[in-house]
């Protein structure tokens, strides 16, 4: 049997077994998994496929080391958000700290702006992706399809609520993860059987300040874990903390494995787009290329759902639960539809990236404030940790070159 056929067999077995496992009633209905899916969907979003050619272009042979450092930083920032779930939420609920309340409102406003833009961006990208397959490149048609998808999401959220949107998310994330599992297996087999783990090309680009700024922008690809913070209307503090951590660990493993395995098949010249990985996969097996297209579509839609659920919870909290949660989903869809028609959403995504970075900065500052004034910290280790994270986030806010939408 030819190597390509062997890889195809493993792809089918891996994808089928992954789907059967994740869509089994025991897994898909488990509160732990459902609470994990939202941050996981957001972390592995539309930027996943572009991360490989991007890091190869910026860092060359050091791409794997770079992604390890980036996801480690994301995990540490996630620890600040988890710290705030544990310690800030009770303080905010009682109104005990006005200073913390002001920080939180500023943080939430910046995140809500980022969510509106990113939801519109994800669905618009999905629409373009789907229509491109039909050779329809008209922006008006893409906007129209985007409007239909957003309207359906809003109506489903309004009439059927959080659980229905979450169920849609569970199914799309299951498809996405099964495709990723098949992709990793295919890459590993190809690297081993065809390339004998000898890379097609090597690259050692100069590490300049601009390169560091671009790497800082890669952090904004692996963000999204904060959505757990805004699921408090459905899940307990303890469950949200555990599942955010679990989602970050899964995504770390996926990003590191993907970058490590795909570097062997990267050519000296690459295009910075999702199609680069699709074109590369054609050289491995045609089946894989078609599955990646399916996975990319599922990735974009699941990321839009994750941010919709996070944004709904955020607005619910921001307005002190005065607006019904189901109505929030309709409001979100309305704002996103307006953005699609009244702005160039591909230009606004840079603003969203800055807003996300600013949100993480405020979260690290809030964690530092609580560690300093509200929670015992005898040796000041927590304060130092959150202060260092704040400085990293400040650098990303000021100097990062966002990659999504580029």
For residues 319 and 323, give the distance between their C-alpha atoms in angstroms, rounded to a whole number. Answer: 7
Distances (CA, A) of 203 to 57, 128, 401: 8, 32, 21
Task: Give the pLDDT confidence score for residue 41 in this predicted structure.
Answer: 96
For the chain, the structural domain boundaries read 34-399
How do the pLDDT tens digits run along the chain, 406 residues long? 678 899 999 999 999 999 999 999 999 999 999 999 999 999 998 788 889 889 998 999 999 999 999 999 999 999 999 999 999 999 988 877 788 888 889 999 999 999 999 999 999 989 988 898 788 889 999 999 999 999 999 999 999 999 999 999 999 999 999 999 999 999 999 999 998 889 888 888 888 999 999 999 999 899 999 999 999 999 999 999 999 999 999 999 999 999 999 999 987 667 766 677 888 888 899 899 889 889 989 999 999 999 999 999 999 999 988 999 999 999 999 999 999 999 988 888 888 989 999 999 999 999 999 999 888 888 899 999 999 999 999 999 999 987 654 4
Task: Give the pLDDT confidence score for residue 1 in this predicted structure.
Answer: 60
Mapped onto helix, strand or coil, the DSSP state of residue 376 is coil
* CATH numeric code, 34-399: 1.20.1740.10
What value, to the nearest 5°, has the Cα angle with vertex 88 and ends 86 and 90?
80
Task: Give the pLDDT confidence score for residue 406 in this predicted structure.
Answer: 46
Helix 98-132 / helix 139-193 crossing angle, nearest 10 deg: 90
């Amino acid at each position: 049997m030819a190597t390509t056929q062997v890889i195809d067999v493993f792809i089918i077995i891996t994808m089928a077994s992954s789907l059967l496992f994740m869509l089994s009633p025991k897994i898909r209905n488990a509160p732990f998994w459902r609470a994990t899916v939202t941050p996981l969907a957001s972390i592995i979003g539309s930027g996943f496929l572009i991360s490989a050619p991007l890091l190869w272009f910026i860092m060359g042979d050091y791409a794997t080391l770079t992604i390890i450092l980036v996801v480690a930083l994301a995990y540490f920032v996630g620890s600040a958000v988890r710290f705030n779930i544990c310690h800030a939420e009770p303080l905010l609920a009682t109104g005990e700290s006005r200073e913390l309340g002001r920080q939180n409102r500023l943080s939430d406003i910046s995140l809500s702006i980022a969510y509106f833009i990113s939801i519109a961006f994800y669905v618009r990208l999905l629409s373009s992706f789907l229509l491109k397959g039909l050779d329809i490149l008209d922006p008006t048609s893409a906007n129209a399809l985007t409007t239909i998808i957003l309207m359906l999401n809003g109506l489903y959220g309004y009439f059927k609520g959080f659980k229905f949107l979450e169920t849609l998310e569970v199914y799309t994330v299951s498809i996405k993860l099964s495709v990723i599992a098949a992709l990793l297996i295919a890459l590993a087999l190809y690297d081993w059987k065809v390339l004998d783990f000898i890379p097609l090309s090597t690259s050692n680009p100069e590490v300049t300040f601009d390169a560091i700024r671009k790497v800082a922008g890669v952090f904004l690809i692996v963000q999204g874990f904060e959505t757990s913070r805004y699921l408090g209307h459905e899940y307990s503090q303890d469950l949200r903390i555990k599942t955010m951590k679990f989602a970050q660990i899964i995504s770390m493993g996926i990003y590191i494995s993907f970058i490590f395995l795909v570097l062997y098949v990267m050519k000296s010249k690459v295009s910075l787009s999702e199609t680069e990985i699709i074109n590369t996969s054609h050289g491995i097996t045609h089946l894989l290329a078609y599955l990646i297209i399916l996975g990319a579509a599922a990735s974009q839609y699941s990321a839009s759902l994750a941010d919709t659920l996070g944004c709904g919870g955020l607005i619910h909290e921001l307005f002190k639960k005065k607006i019904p949660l189901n109505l929030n989903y309709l409001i979100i869809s309305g704002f996103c539809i307006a953005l699609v028609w009244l702005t160039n959403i591909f230009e606004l995504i840079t603003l969203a990236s800055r807003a996300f970075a600013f949100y993480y900065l405020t979260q690290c500052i809030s964690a530092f404030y609580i560690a300093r004034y509200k929670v015992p910290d005898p040796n000041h280790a927590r304060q130092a940790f959150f202060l260092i994270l704040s400085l990293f986030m400040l650098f990303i806010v000021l100097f990062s070159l966002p990659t999504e939408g580029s």
